[in-house]
Amino acid sequence: MIFIIGAGITGLSIGNELLSNGFDVHIFDHFIDGEATLAAVGMLAPLIEAKPYEENLLDLMQESKMLWKEYSRKISTDSKIDVGYQENSSILVANDQDEIQKLMFKKNFLNKLGFKIDYLEKKDVLKIEPLLSDNIQGALFCKHQDQVNPISLKKALQYLFLKNGGKITKKKILKLKIIKNKPFVCFENDVYESHKIIISAGAWSYKLLHNSFNLSVPIKPIKGVSMRLKTNKKTYNIRHNLWFNNIYVAPRTHGELVIGATEEEKGFNNNLQVGEIYYLTKHLWESLPFTENYELLAFNSGFRPQSFDGAPLIGELDVISKNIICAFGHFRHGILLSPITAKIILEIIKNEKREELYQKFLPKRFNLKI
């Protein structure tokens, strides 16, 4: 039996991958309010997210992005739940000359890596997205930067996991233990032995490992707040995923828009604050003035697990035991990276040789000590 700690999208993706390859899987989750899925917009846009000092992460995101079309199709077909996968393009908008300079830097960086990114003048941007503010100065146009609906995706993954024989237990974990190199999960009145334990508890992974082994992994919670809007007027619809300096906007079906996201280090305080609402609504109105006529559906918040180098920890926790496996620290890229993370974890469980790229994300890169 393999245990997974965490029933978010990453944990469920891993669980389904293992089940489909013949493994028995049991997921444990405390179901604490504030999981990263709640604040996620669901962008699958590695080129927009790319940074010059994160080329390994970009390669991993690109590889995962290539899996998404078939991955989402299979999930939707098998579960009969539409996960909201949409092939689209993204527009990265500049509102002043400083932002244009940043766009050109990103364009040159991506061009050197072999990606074709087009720069659009103001008049050309407004031709394809006429509802943008007239204050814009230019934009980058990136093809094949898609999206998925995080809430529908999680619902479908959970349905398939349970349908195919997986178990999910809502229970508070006190700590993990290693006894004679065998991993155990300890609850208030029970202790369960496992063959392998996969930690996919997002921002709570730090607490679990620190409480269990006095190990400090370089992970911190970053609070994000997003909001959903809706209109019934087709003339108010936008066509592309839009990225601005402060926010990003994803058009969904049935006239919905999802706007994300704040990014603040506030510990685990998940209370929604006026300043967070103001931040999103102010920048949205400045960029897309027509949205003042939209109906507000919801604000959502959650904690993203950010590692010190911005990349996930995927692999054996050698400093404790090879039977403890990390799958956390994906920060803003958890949904995008979920299929490739599941693929890597399966290779670890099956003791298969891993690609050199995957080894760049092993926890041992941080020289962890207890």
pLDDT in tens, 324-367: 999 999 999 999 999 999 999 999 999 998 899 999 999 999 99
| pLDDT for position 329 | 97
Which of 262, 280, 307 corresponds to the end of one domain?
307
Q: In terms of residue numbers, what domain contains 246?
A: 87-146+221-307
Same domain, 198 and 242: no
Dig out the tokens for 7 from the structure.
Answer: 């029933």
Residue 121 within any structural domain of the chain? yes
pLDDT band, residue 32 (cuts 50/70/90): low
Please write the tens of the pLDDT for every residue from 71-82.
Answer: 999 999 999 999
Within this chain, do residues 325 and 227 fall inside the same structural domain, yes or no? no
Provide the whole-model pTM. Answer: 0.96
Residue 334's SS3 state is helix
344 vs 17, 206, 352, CA distance in Å? 10, 21, 9
Q: Where are the alpha helices (DSSP H) in 113-175?
A: 122-128, 150-163
**Helix, coil or strand: residue 295:** strand
Same domain, 134 and 226: yes
pLDDT tens-digit series, residues 90-140 = 999 999 999 999 999 999 999 999 999 999 999 999 999 999 999 999 999
Q: What is the CATH number of the domain that holds 166?
A: 3.50.50.60
What local confidence, expressed as pLDDT, does residue 31 receive? 66
Q: How many CB atoms lie within 10 A of CB 339?
A: 23
pLDDT at 165: 98
Report the pLDDT averaged over residues 219-231.
Answer: 94
Q: Which long-range contacts (CB under 8 A, 24 or more apart) does 346-352 make?
A: 346/14, 346/17, 346/18, 346/21, 348/315, 348/316, 349/2, 349/18, 349/23, 349/196, 349/325, 350/21
**232 and 302 assigned to the same domain:** yes
* 77 domain residue, yes or no: no
Check whether residue 31 and residue 178 sit in a common domain.
Answer: yes
Neighbours of 210 (CB within 10 A): 14
pLDDT at 45: 95
Q: At 255, is the pLDDT very low, low, confident or very high (cuts 50, 70, 90)? A: confident
Share of the chain above pLDDT 90, in %: 87
Q: What was the pLDDT predicted at 38?
A: 78
Structurally, the chain folds into a number of domains equal to 2
Residue type, 92: L
Q: Residues of 290-317 as b/e, b for ≥16 C-beta within 10 angstroms?
A: bbeebeeeebbbbbbbbbebebbbbbbb
Same domain, 99 and 173: no
Is 79 part of a structural domain of the chain? no
Q: Do 245 and 290 sit in the same domain of this protein? A: yes
Looking at the structure, tell me whether residues 296 and 313 fall in a common domain: no
Same domain (yes/no): 296, 318: no
Same domain, 241 and 302: yes
Q: Exposure of 33 by Cβ count < 10 A (0-12 exposed, 13-18 middle, 19+ buried)? A: exposed
In the predicted model, what is the mean pLDDT of residues 53-57? Answer: 93
More confident residue, 271 or 166: 166
Kindly report, residue by residue over 206-215, the tens digit of the pLDDT: 999 999 999 9
* 26 pLDDT above the threshold of 90: yes
- Alpha carbons 168 and 179: distance in angstroms, whole number: 24
Q: What is the pLDDT of residue 33?
A: 60
- Concatenated DSSP letters of 59-112: HHHHHHHHHHHHHHHHHHHHHT-----B---EEEEE-SHHHHHHHHHHHHHHHH
**Predicted confidence band of residue 8 (pLDDT cuts 50, 70, 90):** very high
